[in-house]
Amino acid sequence: MDIRKRFTGAILAVAVAAVIAVGGLATTGHSMSHGKDIVDTAVAAGNFKTLATALTEAGLVDTLKGPGPFTVFAPTDEAFAKLPAGTLDALLKDKAKLVAVLTYHVVAGKVMAADVVKLTSAKTVEGQDVKISTMGGVKVNDANVIKTDIVASNGVIHVIDKVILPN
């Protein structure tokens, strides 16, 4: 099933409003969100449509709009496209697995890039640790961190180039 067809009208409306309001500012990294929460900040960036859809399907939008703070290692649409064929559709049909994968991308607290580089691991909301490496750039497990410190009102987003999967 085409992921774009699963996008709700409400998410599209929020995306359009957020892009107009922010002017795409969040796509540059090291930017401020002007009071937007993690979900609205990610939607405004424009390259997290698949993540927004997955969060909606998993019922996690309200959680990530909550007070937090949260640190989200956010895979781009391109990162989701790298998953093996059928994987995303299977996840979208299995809410428990989808929630596990998405919460594996979230760490409680606000961990800025300056803090991330001092860590070797971090406990995710899912319960397992992710490995953090700074050899040859910052990595979370085997995903490269490609943008850092996109600040939201309830935490921070670090953009990664691959979906990381729990064991």
**Rounded to whole angstroms, what are the CA distances from 40 to 23, 90, 98?**
13, 26, 20
The C-alpha atoms of residue 31 and residue 127 are separated, in whole angstroms, by 29
Residues contacting residue 42 through CB under 8 Å, at least 6 positions apart: 26, 48, 51, 52, 72, 74, 157
The two beta strands, 155-160 and 70-75, are parallel
pLDDT digits (tens, 9 = 90+) for 94-119: 999 999 999 999 999 999 999 988 89
CATH number of this structure's domain 3-160, picked from the four choices 1.10.10.10, 3.40.630.30, 2.30.180.10, 1.20.1250.20: 2.30.180.10
pLDDT digits (tens, 9 = 90+) for 148-157: 999 999 999 9
Range in 1-5, 44-48, 128-132 the model is least confident about? 1-5
The C-alpha atoms of residue 54 and residue 102 are separated, in whole angstroms, by 8
Give residue limits of the domains in the chain.
3-160
Does the pTM of the predicted model rise above 0.75? Answer: yes
Instruction: Please provide the average confidence, as pLDDT, over all residues in the chain.
Output: 82
Place of tokens 């990610």: 42
* Per-residue exposure over 141-160, b if at least 16 CB sit within 10 Å of its own CB, e if not: bebebbbbbbbbbbbbbbbb
Which residues does residue 139 pair with via DSSP β-bridges, in sequence order? Answer: 133, 144
The C-alpha atoms of residue 103 and residue 63 are separated, in whole angstroms, by 11
The tokens for 66 are: 């909550």
